[in-house]
Amino acid sequence: MQNLSHLGRAELEAMAAAGDEVLECRRVLAQSGDTILGDLLRGADGVVEWNHYPEGDVYDPLSHAQYFYHAHPPGQRVDPEHGHFHTFLRPRGMAPGTRPLIMPELAIADAPSAPVAPPVPQPNQGADNDELSHLVAIAVSETGEPVRLFTTNRWVTGETWYAAADVAAMLDRFVIDLARPSWPLNRWLSAMFRLFRPQMVALVHARDAAVMSFRRRRRGKVHVFEDRRLEVPSTVEIDVDEQIRRVAVALKQVA
C-alpha cells in the first residue's frame, strides 16, 4: 500500500471527500439491490467479451473525458476481475501546450505508425481532438467493487502517447458530469480519480519506467509501443474501504 503520510491536508481532505462520494454511490445503488456494474449493464443480455459498454463510449463535452467498460475472455482475466473501465482524456481537455511524446523509432520508415484514432469511432473527434491519452484502467469484480488499477501499452487502446508527467497532470481533469448512462456510475468514476490519485500518479510514472526499460533491453530494435509482449506496464491492487481508512489516519497525523 502506498504511503500517504507525505500528503498535505488539502489533498487528504479532497481524498476523504471523494471517499464519501464513492461510498454514497455504493449506498444509493445498494438501496435498490444494484451495483456500479449492474447499473452500467442494465438491460444488456449478458456481457459480450471485448464489446464496449455503453456502445460508443461515454464522452463529456465539457471536460473532454471519456471512458468505456469491457471484459476479456475468462482465461485472460486477473482473478477476481470481471472487466475494467478504460479512461481517457482528449486534447481539448488537456492543459495548454501539452504535446505527445515523440520517440526516435517513429521516424524509422518501416516502423508501425502511431494510431490516430481509438478503435470505436467517436463523434467527439476532430482535427484538434483526436490524439487522446489513456489514463488508467480500473478493474472491478462481478459485484462492481474495484480491485486494481493498471496502465496499458499504446497498442492496447490505440492511444497517443504522452509523457508520465503530462498524464499525471491530466488525472485531475477527468470528470464525467453527465446523467447517462448512469449518474451514480459517472459520479463514482470521477470520485475514484480523487480517492486514488496518489496511486494513479505512481502508476503512470511506473508505466514510463517499464516502457523505457523494455526499450533499452532491446536496444531500440523494436517499436516498444507496438510490441505485443508488453501489454500492462504497471498495476496495483486497491481496496476502497482500506484507502478511506488510511486517508482518515493520515488526516489525524497531518499538521
Distance between CA 97 and CA 100 in Å, rounded? 10
Please check whether residue 148 lies inside any domain of the structure.
yes
pLDDT band, residue 119 (cuts 50/70/90):
very low
- pLDDT > 70 fraction of the chain, expressed in percent and rounded: 89
Q: Tens of pLDDT along 186-205?
A: 999 999 999 999 999 999 99
Which residues, in sequence order, are bridge partners of residue 67? 58, 87
Q: Is residue 3 part of a domain?
A: no
pTM, to two decimals: 0.91
Residues found in the chain: 255
Among 27-31, 37-41, 44-48, 151-155, the least confident range: 44-48
Residue 4 within any structural domain of the chain: no
Please, which residues have CB within 8 angstroms of residue 92's CB and are 6 or more apart in sequence? 64, 128, 129
Q: Burial code of 168-204, b = ≥16 C-beta within 10 A, e = fewer?
A: bbbbeebbbebeebbebbbbbbbbbbbbbbbbbbbbb
Is 103 a residue whose pLDDT tops 90? no
Is 13 contained in some domain? yes
Give the list of residues 6+ apart from residue 231 with CB closer than 8 angstroms, or none.
Answer: 152, 153, 156
Q: For position 114, what pLDDT does the model report?
A: 47
Omega prior to 104 cis, within 30 of 0: no
Tell me what pLDDT residue 136 has: 98
- The tally of domains found in the chain comes to 1
183 CB-near residues (< 8 Å, 6+ apart):
none
Residue 187 structural domain: 9-253
Phi/psi at 136 (5° precision): -140, 160
pLDDT at residue 255 is higher than 90: no
Q: What is the mean pLDDT of the chain?
A: 90
Nearest to 153 by CA among 122, 112, 125, 121: 112
Q: Could you give the residue ranges of the DSSP H alpha helices within 32-81?
A: 36-40
Please give the single-letter amino acid code of residue 57. D
